[in-house]
Amino acid sequence: MTRPVPRIDLFDVRPEDERAYAFARDLRAIEALLFTSPLPVDAKAMKPHLSADADIAALMEALTADYARRGVNIVRASGGWMLRTAPDLARVVAGPVPEARKLSRAAIEVLAIVAYHQPVTRAEIEEIRGVSTSKGTLDVLLETGWVRLRGRRKAPGRPVTYGTTPAFLVQFGLDAVQDLPGLDELKGAGLIDGRIPAGFAIPLPSDDPGLREDEEALEPDMLDFHLSPPPEDEEPGEAAPEDDGDA
């Protein structure tokens, strides 16, 4: 005979017990924030909605444990928490899967270089890869939302620097970019064989949004076109005269 699993009700407390009641109310507030947000919710976003002395670490530990037995779990991602379907139930909720757009080998290599070496310029990416990198490859990564323009390098030509985004962390189930595998993990997974050059090392990645000493902010886009309705005296289908640029 199967023994019933005891039900733990985190919210079955009385208002007279102020500390327990505040804890339970904070749990419900966090649950609501997670349920309504499509992106990870971090402690900073939670704090305004919780008690003044709320222990967010303890709250998340309790809520994560409670959700561990449910059909959706609470997981860490991009420095916050979010709700995700329990891994063993993925096939239950899976609907028609759209055809995935596969990244080319070049795009995967560039993405890895950006993740580990950010902030990095296109010339630096090419130096690491040993081959030229087409602008289209970087455009694809920008379109996915996994890579962003950070700033400009303080160097001749002021090249653009690239870095990863929070969407990159969410896509690959990372809490922080520092969770990317290191050399030992890559070797253990068979992604790097034993024949590596002496002194070869993988940099400790950092996606700190602040600009580095050798970076400067991007200037406002000067090619910001806005659609506007045609003048009232313009006939339908009549094109406005083009500006040939002459003074």
Percent of the chain whose predicted confidence (pLDDT) is above 90: 38
Q: Is residue 44 part of a domain?
A: yes
Q: Is residue 247 part of a domain?
A: no
Q: Is residue 222 part of a domain?
A: no
Sign of CA dihedral 230, 233, 236, 241: negative
Shared domain for 121 and 200, answered yes or no, is yes
Contact 180, 189 (CB under 8 A): no
pLDDT tens for residues 151-192? Answer: 999 999 899 999 999 999 988 888 888 888 887 777 676 666
Q: What is the pLDDT of residue 198?
A: 66
- Domain containing 109 equals 105-209
Shared domain for 80 and 117, answered yes or no, is no
CATH code assigned at 23: 1.10.10.10
241 or 214: which carries more pLDDT confidence?
A: 214
Q: Is residue 189 part of a domain?
A: yes
Q: Is residue 8 part of a domain?
A: no
pTM score of the predicted model: 0.60
Q: Is residue 244 part of a domain?
A: no
Q: 100: alpha, beta or left, given left = phi > 0 and alpha = psi -120 to 50?
A: beta
Q: Is residue 150 part of a domain?
A: yes
Mean pLDDT of the chain: 79
Q: Is residue 38 part of a domain?
A: yes
Shared domain for 109 and 205, answered yes or no, is yes
Q: Which two tokens stand for residue 50?
A: 């919780």
